[in-house]
Every structure is written in structure tokens, then in C-alpha cells.
Amino acid sequence: MKKNNSVVVAMSGGVDSSVAAARLVDEGYQVTGVHLALSKEKTVSGTKGCCTLDDARDARRVADRLGIPFYVWDLSERFQEDVMQNFLDEYAQGRTPNPCMRCNEKIKFQAVLERSIELGFDAVATGHWAKIVNSPQGPLLYRSEDDAKDQSYVLSVLNQEQLAKTMLPLAGSTKPELRKEAQARGLITAFKPDSHDICFIPDGDTAKFLHKHLGNKKGNIVDVETNEVLGEHDGIFEFTIGQRKGLGLTVPREDGAARYVVSTDVATNTVMVGLPSFLRVEVVTGTNLIWCGPILDSPFDCGAQVRAHSDRVPATAFHQDGNLTVEFKEPLQALAAGQTIALYDQDRVICSATVVSTNRS
């Protein structure tokens, strides 16, 4: 990327994107800060999550400090359709979506990148913790040097065309170093806490949010081995695969062993519970296959990651017609349809897919 190129920096109002913008200014890029308005209902000051009024004010104050133009882009309608409605639809179908990955795929990169290019900008930059390396095979996505903050998993929904127009200025840093740098620069966000909440559920009560939008639908909680009814529920979306607490079961096992949610059935509105052995997953199939680098011949060996900060496990992957099958060399525990699986070649992201089915041993 040429030093005089114009770059849009998505400024969330946090320390990561603040330093990302500052570094690009130092490097001579023509930087414009953009804060994304993702909800028609403004989140009030003092609440958790991201995209609050406080966040927008902090982003503007950082932009003023850096002497760069600053705008707020209203992407609320697209966010409502592509992220929030998708979140509700997936839960209604008994799947477990990751709205942050959906937002990265559809909003922070696809929508923002499309608008930026239309307006004449050359690239989009964010404060994500990962690394893009140019190679003869095109841009490649790698894990961050700061393993504790690595976000390559949530960026695994980006294809090479998007990576070619993306800049990640935090590569090579650690979070403590970043905060010291922000303090030295006099940025108001230097010691601002990180947000870990779903931005459109600022109180963190996902069950309450789902009940508000999906209503109540009573059904049974059933033992997967005996088919015995053990209790009732008000909606299968209240439960996640692998959940142990808060099941409200009325019939304990004779051996005293704990039961876990092992599956849900939308057709019968049933939650199935059983021993941890029923959570073992040996094979998954996925759709919406996205290649972050060159397409590899099938099959290929890889490391598979199924959550943002979970370990990568050895696996063999097969692909055909945009679909992916992954066989784990050691069974995983508690993997649900709707989750994203990202595949790695050591620290390089190969591809990602959305899990549609699991085969339990």
C-alpha cells in the first residue's frame, strides 16, 4: 500500500482502533476516521457493549487529537438485517450463531469496504489483532503475535479480495505495549476497558433478548438415553450445547452424575440432555466456505479452531462444491450447528465455514 493512499479507519471508540489510526497517520497515509452507527436506538451512556454514545464521542475526540477527518456512517438498516435478524433466525432454528463474526463478514468489512471504495478510498483499516502478509499467492492472514488477543479466528470470514484492501496496523504488538503507546500519545482511550458483550445486548442477558423477540414456546427436556421427560423449558434458544447449569431438571440420575445439553430439536421443541460422552464430536460438515488464501487440494491436514480463544486441534479437511468436511484426529466436546470452524496451517488461516451438522461418536 502506497504511503500517500487514503485509508478509512473503523474507529470503535476503543484503544485498539485509536492506536491503529495513529500509526497510519505517522506512516503518512491520508487517514479518515469512521464510527459505525449500528442501531437506530442509541445505546445510552454508561452501558456495556460497543457502539454506545460514549464510544462515538471517544472516537471523535481521538480523531481530533490526531487531526484527521471524522464521520459517522449509519449502517443500522444493514446491521439489523444482516446481523440482528440473522442472530434471531439462527436461534429460532436451534443453531448457535456468532454475531461478531457475522458483523465482521457483512458489516465491518463488506459494507464498510464497499462504501469506502465507492467514495474513492484505497483501503480499510481496523484495530483487530491479526496480521496480513503479502505473498506471491496474494495476501495471507496470520495469527497475531499476542496470542492472548489474537482475532484471526473472527477474521477468518474474509476472502483474499477483501484482505487485499484491508490493513491491520496492530500486527507485531502486545496489548500492554499498545496501552503504553496510547498513553504516550495522549489518547483518551488509553486505559478504556475492552468490551466483550454483544453490542445489541448491552446488559448481557441473551435469553431475555431472545424471549423478547421470539416469545415463549414451552417444551420438554428429555433424557437422550431413556427418553424420560425430566423437565420443561420456555424456548430451546435458552440452551447451548454443553450447558450444565440452570437446566431446572426435576429427576436426578441414580448415579448422581450431571447431565448436559447434548442437542435440541426444533421440530419437536425438545431439549435433549445426557452424559458428557454424548457431546463428543468426531466429524463436522460446514457450508459458506470462505478461503483466506489459495484453495488447497482436498484432502489436507490442518489445525481446527471452533471458538474465538479455543485451542487448535489436529484434523483432516475435505472440500467439494463450496462445502467442507472436517475429521478431528481427537474428538471435540460440545460443538453446535451455527458455529464457525476456522482451519489453520500452523499460524496461517486457510479458510472458514459455518457448521451445519456434527457427527458424535
The residues annotated with a catalytic role in the active site are 103, 199
**Terminal-to-terminal C-alpha distance of the chain:** 49
Q: Is 246 exposed, middle or buried (0-12, 13-18, 19+ CB in 10 A)?
A: exposed
Which residues are paired to 222 by β-bridges? 229, 272
**Is 39 in a helix, a strand, or coil?**
coil
Give the list of residues 6+ apart from residue 185 with CB closer than 8 angstroms, or none: 19, 22, 65
Which residues are paired to 71 by β-bridges? 34
- Give the CA distances from residue 126 to residues 68, 283, 333, in Å, rounded to whole numbers and listed in that order: 16, 34, 33
Cis check for the bond before 202: say yes or no (omega within 30 of 0): no
Backbone angles phi, psi at 315, to 5 degrees: -155, 165
Tell me, what amino acid is at 40? K
Residues 111/75, Cβ–Cβ less than 8 Å: yes
Q: Which helix (H) or strand (E) holds 123?
A: strand 123-125
**Is 23 in a helix, a strand, or coil?**
helix
Instruction: For residues 2 and 143, give the distance between their C-alpha atoms in angstroms, rounded to a whole number.
Output: 24
Q: Cell numbers at residue 22, please?
A: 495513529
Residues 356/339, Cβ–Cβ less than 8 Å: no
